[in-house]
Structure 1
Amino acid sequence: MSTTTPATDGRPTLSPVSAGFIAIYALAMFGIWMAINLPASVTLALRISEIDPGGKTTSYSIAAGVGTLTAVLANPFFGRLSDRTRSRFGRRRPWIAIGLLGTTVGAAVIGLSDTFPMLLLGWVLMQAFVNAAIAATLAIVADRVPESQQGFIGSLSGAASAASLVIGVFFIQAFPSSILAQIGLPVAVALVFGAALIAIFRDDSPAAEPLPAFGVKEFFGSFFINPRREPDFAWLLLSLFLMFASWGVVSTYTVYLLQDMVAVPEAQINDAITLSYVIPGIVAFIVGPLGGLVGDRLGRRKPVMIFAALVGAAGMVTIATSAGVVQFVIGVTLVSGVAAGIMMGTYIAFGIAAMRERSAAARNLGVINIAITLPFSLIPFIAPVLLGIGGGTSNYVALVLFGGVLTLLGIIPLIGIRATR
């Protein structure tokens, strides 16, 4: 575990964390992500098809939309509460515990529900409380990890997220007819590894500063960064929002791009979809920590993010000019594998370096989560305009190139960031 000593700039100097701590931290992130990623990708849809087979598509759309909104709001909100917590157990550990217990309750509600409204309640509980645990766990990187390790350890969250879904699928295969096992076992894994992190993180300190009462201003402050007060952080938010646009386009429209732009035959479409998700996922799992390590070694984050944006834009051009599945998969791998992996492996360390108030680390990282999530929510509303360019068939080339241009534009705000290179 790390210790702190005074530094000349007023911030504590943190000693490197041990390999044991890094391993437990990675396992805790893996468990937490699996607890929510598996139901979000598989289990929730299966459960809805059991409860509401006739209206499953509508019900699933409602659950997915409400769940995403809950996650986006809950992350910075619970992060704000974590930043303000003055418990003798610290300010991160209580919210990891509360988050995991609430996630367990939500999972139980989903597993035992026999109506869609009850299932939706369980899903909202899961999304809200798992994001409390995520916000507190990510903030540990800012609290206790020295800058020389922040890139690598911060990248473990993205790598753990990618690995959690691949490994979590085995729970589905092992218990094909038990929803309780499918949704409960990943939560059990999160509880075990989360408890291990709580146990090893013994020097978690409470919020030390005198804090104003948590009123309306503080509540809405959970979701907002004042650009005048934190210009570097505001520039980073804009950059991340733009850079994640290409990933948002690809992840949202992969199936339709294959069907309508590449014109993959119906008999081959399932294999093409599988390749378009599995290969980039494996690449992102490998590239993310490497991107974090490179940033740590260089002591610089901007060049790493610029490289990711350039790769993402190149991938979008590759997709837009695809005449077959092979070229399409190469393009998707560049965007969702290499570029997205690097960005996910770098943004936490970059965010910590750019933020002015480390005491609000959990809230700030939650606001970053909003910035990188918004493109996935907004692209579907913008897409119809781009798809309609030129009339006739849907103009997917315009949509893809638009995402690539936004990603390149994301480089420009980095120039305004002065706090880090």
Structure 2
Amino acid sequence: MPVEVTPPTAPQIHLPGRLSKPVLFAYAAATLGMWMAMLTPVILTLAVRVEQLDPAHKETRLSLILGAGAVVGLVSNPVFGRLSDRTTSRFGMRRPWLLGSSLVGVIGLTLVGLSNSITGVLIGWCVVQCAFNVMLAAMLALLPDHVAPNRRGLISGILGMCQALAAVVGTGLANVATPGSTISFVAPGLVALLGVVWLVAKLPDRRLDPAERPVSTLSDLLRSFWVSPARYPDFGWAWLSRFMILLAVSCVLNYQVYFLKDEIGLSTDEANRMVGLGVGVQTVLVVIGSNFFGWLSDRMGRRKIFVVVSAAVAASGLLMLATGRSISWFLLAMALVGLGQGVYFAVDMALVTEVLPDSRSGAAKDLGVINIATVLPQSIAPAIAPLFLAVGAGENYTALFLAGTAFAVAAALTVWPIRGVR
């Protein structure tokens, strides 16, 4: 079994190449809670809350809030990832950031739920995005910190399954609590906090000797946002592919509630339930697909072909959404989008960790740059979606979903030039 030897900066931690079961369970629980807190508002509760506050301008208000939050997340992820890489706390490099960000995230979600104005929701959502992107940077860094490359497909598959489960559990919890209510925002945040507390208690975190910490300068901070694609072309292609698949998925994820109401003719309650059902269908396929294909990717020693095929599957689902207007068609399309997205992220994250420029002393920072590709589409999609929706008369969801199809195809094509991973 491959052994990953800890460098001098963390002499007390031996990385065996795999996570112990207690740590893996805690890691999975914290991942589940984190994505519940991040995805439930994006999928359902934020759209409902915005419509409650300003029904006449719901699309533009939602785009503003999502876009502003995405910008905050874009800045937070790599900057705090770099700070995590340089943290010399006796509690470890990742644990202080995990615990602190989860607490701030609950505060932000509470503010969103209690606010009676669009401005208050905007501020609260920016706090949420900052907090949980800090958490995301630390969480993803645990993969190269503690898992050998030949086992990352399996672990990435488990984490991808948790992300899918988070969507269905979060939307189910929100529907029980009434979407748009304060508790529908706060409850997923509390689940995230409990998961992080469990992980912090079990995690044998790396520790950095203060004498080994590089001197931080403003230029270092600015470099948090950049990895040269000319010097690290594989990293650049992986970044671009992830950006494209997220842009594709964001085209449907942010607007599915309005699509179900405006195009299919469902009531608000029916649309909310249908989103939950669609997420449930996705989750069944993602749980099966991400675990199986993550394991198979490790066994075959191949990553690219799985990423390409999964992006193509997501593209086929988006194409179906562009051409159909029935409930059954919607559910089948969302199943394909979910399966493609789930398998993509399960295998792609393993691929990404194998093309990092500096996986030992700069993992969180480099993964923070990768997460710019995750967060940036959340800002760009709400900005460009109105352009597609405005084509012709009325809200043109066909044009929006066709654009998403093109983005998913681009995600598949941009994986092929990667040479350092099979």
Deviations 1:279-335 (A, max 9, x none): 22442343223332222222211111011123233334444454754344323322x
Aligned to 2:105: 103
- Give TM-score scaled by structure 2 length: 0.81
Q: 2:215 aligns with which of 199, 212, 215?
A: 212
Which residue of 2 is the match for residue 291 of structure 1? 293
Which amino acid letter does the alignment assign opposite residue 32 of structure 1? M
Structure 1 residues 280 and 24: CA distance shift in structure 2, 3 A: same
| Counterpart code for 2:90 | R
Query: Which structure has the higher relative contact order (CA within 8 Å, separation 6+)?
Result: 2
Deviation at 1:342, TM superposition (A): 0.9
- Specify the SS of the correspondent of 1:15: coil
1:350 alignment counterpart: 351
Corresponding letter in the other structure for 1:5: V
**1:170 CA drift (Å):** 5.3
Counterpart residue type for residue 344 of structure 2: M
Instruction: Determine if contact 2:67/2:380 at 8 Å carries over to the other structure.
Output: no
What amino acid does structure 1 have at the position aligned with 2:411? G
Look up the SS of the partner of 1:81 in the other structure. helix
How far is 1:214 from its partner?
A: 3.1
- Residues 359-417 of structure 1 show CA distances to partners (whole Å, capped at 9, x for unaligned) of 2222222222221344454345555666777x678776555444334433333432332
- Aligned partner of 1:91 in structure 2 is 93
3-state secondary structure, aligned to 1:222: helix
Aligned match of 2:237: 235
Amino acid at match of 1:297: R
Structure 1 residue 186: Cα displacement: 3.2
Q: How many residues align?
A: 410
Asked if 2 retains the 8 angstrom alpha-carbon contact of 1:318 and 1:331, the reply is yes
Which secondary structure does the structure 1 equivalent of 2:366 belong to? helix
- The equivalent of 2:196 in structure 1 is 194
What SS class does the counterpart of residue 105 from structure 1 fall into? helix
Counterpart for residue 403 of structure 1: 404
Partner Cα separation in structure 1 for residue 120 and residue 386 of structure 2 = 34
TM-fit CA distance, 1:250: 3.2
Q: Which residue of 2 aligns with 1:5?
A: 5
Classify 1:117/1:337 alpha carbon distance in 2 versus 1 (closer, same or farther; 3 Å): closer
Matched with 1:338 is 339
Unmatched runs of 5 consecutive residues or more in structure 2: 8-13
Cα distance change on mapping 1:115 and 1:347 into 2, 3 Å: same
Alpha carbons of structure 1 residues 339 and 40: separation in structure 2 relative to 1, 3 Å: closer
Which amino acid counterpart does residue 193 of structure 2 have in structure 1?
L
Partner of 1:310: 312
Instruction: Give the SS at the match of 1:91.
Output: coil
> Cα offset for 1:82?
0.8
Whichever of the two has the greater Rg, that structure is 1
Contact map agreement 2:31 2:162 (CA 8 A) in 1: yes
Change (3 A) 1:101 1:276: closer
Secondary structure of 1:32's match? helix
Within 2, Cα distance between the matches of 1:343 and 1:22? 21
Normalising to structure 1: TM-score of the pair? Answer: 0.81
Q: Which runs of 5+ in 1 are unaligned?
A: none
> Would the alpha carbon gap of residues 42 and 340 (structure 1) be closer, same or farther in structure 2, given more than 3 Å must change?
closer
- 1:143 paired with 2:145, answer yes
Which residue identity lines up with residue 340 of structure 1 in the other structure?
Answer: Q
